[in-house]
A and B are shown apart, each in its own frame.
Chain A
Amino acid sequence: MLSRVAQTIYWIGRYQERAENTARLITVNTNLMLDLPPKGAPGWDALINLLGCYESYLARHPEFTERRVANFLINDEYNSSSIISTLCALRENARTIRDILPREAWESINSYYQTALERKQSSFSRQGRQSYLEHIIAGSQLMTGLLAGSMNHDMAYRFLNLGRKLERADMTTRIIDVRPENPLSEEAPELAPFEDILWMSMLKSLSAYQMYRQHMQVRINRKDVLQFLFKTQGFPRSINYCTENIRFNLSRLPKNRTPLKVLKKIDTRLTEMLTDKMDNNELHEFIDDLQIDFGTLHEAISKAYFPPALMSAA
């Protein structure tokens, strides 16, 4: 298969997960605003920080209000990582390889973007926003299903999954990182009971709450939630699931030595992670390191399979 096509379909996978997980990220923050007392809730600036778009935000907005941040992350065409920009990039990439995609999948991607664009007004209110974000998440799930059920599970499909799982792993760590600046229980003992609410909210935004209960068989607590989200093999949004799936796909591709080596490093890091011993700072650093590893893995995949950088700029 063409290197350029491999690159394009890999990015389709990344954009798809990026749109879906940005929607999840905004959902978790909105829910925390509702669930936690004002003092304990993470601010909206935290989201901008997590997505690494602090500067581009400040260039366009003087302050971090819910409405401004939500619009910036959902609708702003000038923000290249907003949901609408991501879906636009997804559609343009799909257009570039519409000969590879099954017709139904292209039609679904096309209307995914068109509907998101038509309905964007509805995301301005808090109430409309929730259903808008649900639509974004459902659209991504539909796309996954259509591709799984109608596309050859060949090389192209492997690159799609590489992109998806790498982006999902990265975004999941960002969602886990949505927390109040200071740990609730240490600074303000009266807020301690809310700690569990925070984790529950996060699980829900990852569609992980029920699966957590079924799988872990314990009530919500920090250690087990981290265990579940980082290390469980069976839950499809856990980091471990994503890295295992990346291994499955990489091992079926040629020239996979370097990317597999990077993956091994990530595995070691995950295995050595002690979920019950980490405080919040350590967790944050751990997540930072993991995100850097994901970046290295992306570089390794690009170098092994995609056209040389100079060429893709042509």
Chain B
Amino acid sequence: MTINRESFENHPFFDELITPNGHARGYARKLISYLGKLDKGELASRQLGAELAIKQMGITFRVYTEEEGSIDRVWPFDIVPRLIPKKEWDRIESGLKQRVEALNLFIDDLYHKQQIVKDKVFPAEVLADSENFREQCIGVNPPLGVWAHICGSDLVRDDKGEIYVLEDNLRVPSGVSYMLENRLVTKRVFPELFETYSPLPIDDYPSELFDTLSALSPRPGDNPEIVVLTPGIYNSAYFEHAYLAQQMGCELVEGRDLVVEKDDCVYMRNIEGHSRVDVIYRRIDDLFLDPEAFNADSMLGVPGLMRAWKAGNVAMANAPGAGVADDKVVYSFVPDIIRYYLDQEPIVPNVPTWRCIDKPSCDYILDHLKELVVKPANESGGYGLLVGPSSSRQERETFRKLIEKNPRNYIAQPTLAISTVPTINGGLLEPRHVDLRPFILSGKSMEVTTGGLTRVALRKGSLVVNSSQGGGSKDTWIVDS
């Protein structure tokens, strides 16, 4: 028996596959009994097989370290899948659609009438201090009125088994390619399991993304020319950019491949000459998109791109400025935003959040720094956090000063006891903490990936799932209950 019962009993967290008294949950019973039949050596050798496959497939991500500079690392993967019953997933899916629909209405409102501010549901001062609000986007009408075509929302489950949204990534969310590759690797490693289970398929994503992007083309009727715009091979998500371009059969371009001509249209430099581009799936941050409009030093962008976009001659996904809703202070208002625009109660709740801009909340936060997680409004990748319970007195003092200096930039949340999934460690199964990032596509219709990318903190006891900080991932199965 490979399941280390000791570590599964009594631990205070919710495990996705094992009940508190050490039995498999109903939907995981076949998986656990299958794993139970494999001895320690066999499990370790399957794990090794997966790692070899990943190395051979060249599934990598890039990390920056002070010692080694930028290096290409093999994607860390754990072979035990994370299972979610379909009935629960259906509810989550509708909650995500509701959320992104409201967020798109919110962004569109901010760049037009700002009715939600006038109605005092969303405070003017939060908008005024927003780092990701782009004046250049005011009054622009992107196709279909959609700004965030691709959203990656992070979900966590607490110790009672309740699912919460932890954050919404509306700028250039990444991870979907790893979700797709993880399934391929699992099929290589555990082909037998697919005889007893039939997890819902996930490989439709590239064609759904293609359809979402096609619908934005300014030249309907034609075969739209869609490109994926990447910062280049040194970007941490370059693998994904290349992967998606390949899967969609689109060109993968860098800024220097594109040019905006006098007619305010975007062209790419081909060996025969220039040819028109209709839709850009951009994986470059707003500020680097166009040196004429934003950061003048950007070598990654295309001069004149914003001009072409505003003229409606090219579509961009996500639209510039969509990041205004990707802000942890804005996040804390999402339940109100859903009620305001859709007149509905949120289906999937937010994690309880205190805002430093509210005086009473701020006092509470400063008094309870040791228990809370404090997050800056605009960082991503798990950087710049204060995790109260594991912080030093000095770190807390640093954060106290930061918060007092700029309360708009911080929120705080309780330290969540996020759920675990059995994970292989030296041939034994041990609980490791996970989150889940599904991807939501918005265009003519809305689509949600079946499941999403499960990220797992591979170090014992760690709650940090980011791949840049020792996290790995798992295949995610939506299964019949």
Spell out A's residues near B (CB within 8 Å).
1-6, 92, 95-100, 103, 106-107, 110-111, 114, 155, 253-255, 305, 307, 311-312, 314
Q: How far is the CA of A2 from the CA of B256 in the complex (A)?
A: 11
Is B464 an interface residue when CB atoms closer than 8 A count as contact? no
New contact pairs (6) apart from A4-B257, A6-B271, A103-B246, CB-CB < 8 Å: A98-B243, A99-B251, A114-B56, A255-B271, A307-B257, A311-B256
Contact indicator B271/A107 (Cβ below 8 Å): no
Chain B residues lying within 8 Å of A106, measured Cβ to Cβ, are 58
B interface residues, Cβ below 8 angstroms from A: 55-58, 228, 232-233, 238-239, 242-243, 245-246, 250-254, 256-257, 268-272, 299
Name the prevailing secondary structure of the B interface residues: mixed
Q: How many A-B residue pairs have CB under 8 A?
A: 70
Contact yes or no, A110 B58, CB < 8 A? yes
The reply to whether B270 and A99 form a contact with Cβ atoms under 8 Å apart is no
Q: Which of A4, A95, A110, A305 contacts B56 (CB 8 A)?
A: A110
What are the residues of chain B within 8 A of A100 when measuring CB–CB? 246, 252
Residues of B close to A311: CB separation below 8 A: 256
Q: Are B242 and A1 in contact (CB under 8 A)?
A: no
The answer on a CB contact under 8 Å between B57 and A107 is yes
Complex A-B, nearest 5 residue pairs according to Cβ-Cβ distance, in ascending order: A99-B246, A99-B245, A110-B58, A98-B242, A99-B252
CB < 8 Å: which of A99, A254, A307, A314 contacts B272? A254
Show 17 A/B contacts (Cβ-Cβ < 8 Å), sorted by A: A2-B253, A3-B270, A92-B233, A95-B58, A95-B233, A95-B238, A96-B232, A98-B239, A99-B246, A99-B251, A106-B58, A114-B55, A254-B272, A255-B272, A307-B257, A307-B269, A312-B256
Smallest CB-CB separation from A305: which chain B residue? B271
Q: Please pick, from B242, B256, B269, the residue contacting A314 in the complex, using a CB distance under 8 A.
A: B256
Look across to chain A and name the residue whose beta carbon is closest to the beta carbon of B74: A114
Tell me the minimal C-beta distance from B470 to chain A in angstroms: 23
Nearest-neighbour CB distance to chain B for A128, whole angstroms, equals 23
Please name the residue on chain B nearest to A253 by beta carbon. Answer: B271
Compute how far the CA of A312 lies from the CA of B232 in the bound complex, rounded to whole angstroms.
12
In the complex, A90→B180 CA distance in Å?
A: 26
How many angstroms from the CA of A258 to the CA of B371 in the assembled complex? Answer: 72
CB neighbours of B246 from chain A (8 A): 98-100, 103
Specify the chain A residue showing the minimal Cβ separation from B58: A110
**Is there an interface contact between B269 and A95, defined as CB atoms closer than 8 Å?**
no
- Bound CA span A92–B257, Å: 18
> Smallest CB-CB separation from B254: which chain A residue?
A4
Among B57, B232, B238, B256, residue most surrounded by chain A Cβ atoms (within 10 Å): B256
- Once the chains bind, are B233 and A1 in contact (CB under 8 Å)? no
- Shortest distance from the beta carbon of A263 to any chain B beta carbon, whole Å: 18
**Chain B residues closer than 8 Å to A253, beta-carbon distance:** 271
**Least Cβ–Cβ distance between A250 and chain B, in angstroms:** 12
A99-B252, A110-B56 in contact; A2/B268 too (CB < 8 A)?
Answer: yes
Choose one: B55, B243, B257; the contact of A2 (CB below 8 Å). B257
Q: How far is the CA of A96 from the CA of B233 in the complex (A)?
A: 6
The reply to whether B245 and A155 contact each other, CB–CB distance below 8 Å, is: no
The answer to whether A3 and B242 touch (CB under 8 A), given A311-B256, A314-B256, is no
Residues in B neighbouring A98, C-beta threshold 8 A: 58, 239, 242-243, 246
Interfacial chain A residues near B254, Cβ < 8 Å: 4
Which residues of chain A are within 8 angstroms of B268 by Cβ–Cβ distance? 2
Is the beta-carbon distance between A314 and B271 smaller than 8 angstroms?
no
Choose among B55, B57, B256 the residue that contacts A307 (Cβ–Cβ < 8 A): B256
Residues of A within 8 A of B228 (CB): 99
Complex Cα distance A49/B270, Å? Answer: 38
Which B residues touch A3, using CB under 8 A?
257, 269-271
The residue from B58, B232, B242, B256 contacting A99, defined by CB atoms under 8 A apart: B242
CA separation between A197 and B320, bound complex, in Å?
A: 69
Cα distance A314–B242 when bound, in Å? 20
Q: Residues of B contacting A254 with CB < 8 Å?
A: 271-272
Chain A nearest CB: distance from B115 CB in Å? 42
A103-B256 Cα distance, complex, nearest whole Å: 26
